[in-house]
Amino acid sequence: MEWQADNRMAPHTLIVNRAVEATLPQPKFIETMEQPSTAEVGIATHQLLQKMDLSETPSVEQLTVLLMELVETKVITLAVADRVNVNQIVEFYQTELGIEILTNYQNVHREKPFSMLIPADELIKDYPKNSMDDLLIHGIIDGYLEKEDSCLLYDYKTDHIYLNNEKEELQKIIKKYRGQLNLYKKALQQAMNKPVKGIYLILLSIGKIIDMETEEIVEMTQPMKSN
């Protein structure tokens, strides 16, 4: 699969979300840290999501065993592992979207790095039009499901969200990640030569799924329609 757009002029480089690696790099967490940072917990959560077996419905016990394996191999620390919310991961894979991913696991691709050239004036507000300057975008797509004539794109987030003003906070999340997911969509469509029909933001910290195309927000315990 080719994830590189046609070369134009020498581009600047922009990293989207995480550094490009075939697999997530092993985070060098500080063993003596009393309270792991949210970034460390997020990276550890993605490590778990990358390595978990999608051929069967996950359980808390299975994911806990896998977490401990990551601790034993010094990929993450015990303090970080204790902060990973395995219950929400299990809950997600009991939703309609999660079940679709599990059912079609052989067509699921996880942690897919990409590089793509984008005209700077398409990405940067007030950038001179027709400048012929490019930005080289690097990113990692959390996951996508390849279907016969389309793809379904999904992305996990572990952001802390203040529930005392949930509606406003969720709108901020949508605004914060819309540009990133639009880039993922464009990169995926270029690489696969298929339209992306379905973009989902999975908020593990509060158990909600956002359909980024319709902005519908549902609880993981409620039924939802995936494309």
The secondary structure of 171-184 as a DSSP string is HHHHHHHHHHHHHH
- Domain positions in the chain are 12-219
Pair 191, 153: CB distance under 8 Å: no
Residue among 168, 162, 159 nearest 203 (CA): 159
Pair 66, 198: CB distance under 8 Å: no
Residues 64-115: pLDDT tens digits? Answer: 999 999 999 999 999 999 999 999 999 999 999 999 999 999 999 999 999 8
State how far the Cα of 61 lies from the Cα of 24, in Å rounded to an integer: 23
Residues 174-217: pLDDT tens digits? Answer: 999 999 999 999 999 999 999 999 999 999 999 999 999 999 99
Mean model confidence pLDDT for the chain: 85
Domain covering 12-219: architecture:
Alpha-Beta Complex (3.90)
Which residues have C-beta within 8 Å of that of residue 208, sequence separation ≥ 6? 170, 217, 218, 219, 220
Partners of 203 in beta bridges = 157, 208
**pLDDT band, very low/low/confident/very high, at 164 (cuts 50, 70, 90):** confident
pLDDT score of 93: 97
Predicted model pTM: 0.80
State how far the Cα of 219 lies from the Cα of 131, in Å rounded to an integer: 45
